[in-house]
A and B are shown apart, each in its own frame.
Chain A
Amino acid sequence: MSAEKAKKTVPYTVPIGPVHPALKEPVMFTFGMEGEIVRTVDFAPGQTHRGIEWMGMRRNPVQIVHLTDRICGICGIVHSLSFARAVEQIAEIEVPERADYIRTILHELERIQSHLLWAGVAAHELGFDSLFYLAWRVREQSMDLIENLTGNRVNYGIVQIGGVRRDISDEQRALVEKGLDYYQGLLDQMATLFLKDSTILMRCRGHGILSWDDARLLCTVGPTARASGLNMDVRQDYPYCAYGDLDVKAILPPPETGGPQGDVYDRIIVRLLEVGQSIGIIRQCLGQLPAGEILWEPKMAKLLSVLKKAEGEGIGRVEAPRGECMHYVKMAGKEAPDSWKVKASSYSNLMSWIPMLQGEQLADIPIIVASIDPCLSCTDRVAVTRNGRSDILTKEDLTRLSREKTRRMMQ
Chain B
Amino acid sequence: MKIPSSFNRSLWVFHLNTGSCNGCEIEIVATITPRYDPERFGIRLVGSPKHADVLLVTGPVTKKMAPRVRRVFEQVPDPKVVMCIGTCGQSGGVFYDSYNLDGPIDQVIPVDVYVPGCPPRPEAIVFGVVKALQKLERLEAEQ
Which of these, A19, A25, A26, A140, contacts B30 with CB under 8 Å?
A140
Tell me, in angstroms, the Cα distance from A136 to B21 when the chains sit together.
19
Majority SS at the chain B contact face: loop
| Minimum C-beta distance from B9 to chain A (A) | 20
| Minimum C-beta distance from A392 to chain B (A) | 12
Which residues 11-52 of B sit at the A interface, judged by CB distance below 8 A? 16-27, 29-30, 33-35, 47-48
Residue pair B21, A72 in contact (C-beta under 8 Å):
yes
Collect the chain B residues with CB atoms within 8 Å of residue A283's CB. Answer: none
B72 on the interface (CB 8 Å rule)? yes
Which of these, B29, B35, B118, contacts A155 with CB under 8 Å?
B118
Tell me, in angstroms, the Cα distance from A25 to B25 when the chains sit together.
9
Name the interface size band of chain A. 35 or more
B131 on the interface (CB 8 Å rule)? no
Tell me, in angstroms, the Cα distance from A73 to B33 when the chains sit together.
18
Tell me, in angstroms, the Cα distance from A54 to B95 when the chains sit together.
10
Taking A70-B118, A117-B26, A154-B27 as contacts, is the C-beta distance between A46 and B99 under 8 angstroms? no
A112 on the interface (CB 8 Å rule)? no
Taking A48-B20, A154-B27 as contacts, is the C-beta distance between A140 and B118 under 8 angstroms? no
Residue pair A50, B23 in contact (C-beta under 8 Å):
no
Name the interface size band of chain B. 35 or more
B64 on the interface (CB 8 Å rule)? yes
A1-45: CB near B (< 8 Å → 1, else 0) gives: 000000000000000001101001110000000000000000000
Residue pair B65, A50 in contact (C-beta under 8 Å):
no
Collect the chain A residues with CB atoms within 8 Å of residue B82's CB. Answer: none
Residue pair A70, B94 in contact (C-beta under 8 Å):
yes
Residue pair A72, B22 in contact (C-beta under 8 Å):
yes
Tell me, in angstroms, the Cα distance from A71 to B101 when the chains sit together.
15
Collect the chain B residues with CB atoms within 8 Å of residue A51's CB. Answer: 95, 98-100
Collect the chain B residues with CB atoms within 8 Å of residue A70's CB. Answer: 21, 23, 88, 93-95, 118
Tell me, in angstroms, the Cα distance from A31 to B29 when the chains sit together.
28
B135 on the interface (CB 8 Å rule)? no
B104 on the interface (CB 8 Å rule)? no
A387 on the interface (CB 8 Å rule)? no
Collect the chain A residues with CB atoms within 8 Å of residue B118's CB. Answer: 70, 155
Tell me, in angstroms, the Cα distance from A261 to B126 when the chains sit together.
43
| Minimum C-beta distance from B38 to chain A (A) | 13
| Minimum C-beta distance from B27 to chain A (A) | 6
Tell me, in angstroms, the Cα distance from A52 to B29 when the chains sit together.
25
Taking A71-B21, A385-B100 as contacts, is the C-beta distance between A136 and B30 under 8 angstroms? yes
Taking A18-B65, A19-B72 as contacts, is the C-beta distance between A50 and B101 under 8 angstroms? yes
Residue pair A50, B60 in contact (C-beta under 8 Å):
yes
Residue pair A26, B19 in contact (C-beta under 8 Å):
yes
Residue pair B34, A153 in contact (C-beta under 8 Å):
no
A58 on the interface (CB 8 Å rule)? yes
Which residues 82-138 of B sit at the A interface, judged by CB distance below 8 A? 88, 93-95, 97-101, 118-119, 121
Interface residues of A (CB under 8 A from B): 18-19, 21, 24-26, 46-52, 54-55, 58, 66-67, 70-74, 76, 117, 120, 132-133, 136-137, 139-140, 143, 153-155, 375, 377, 383, 385, 390
Q: Top 4 closest A-B pairs, CB basis?
A: A73-B23, A21-B47, A73-B22, A136-B33
Beyond A51-B95, A71-B21, 10 extra complex contacts between A and B, CB < 8 Å? A19-B68, A25-B25, A47-B65, A50-B62, A72-B21, A133-B33, A136-B29, A136-B30, A153-B121, A155-B21
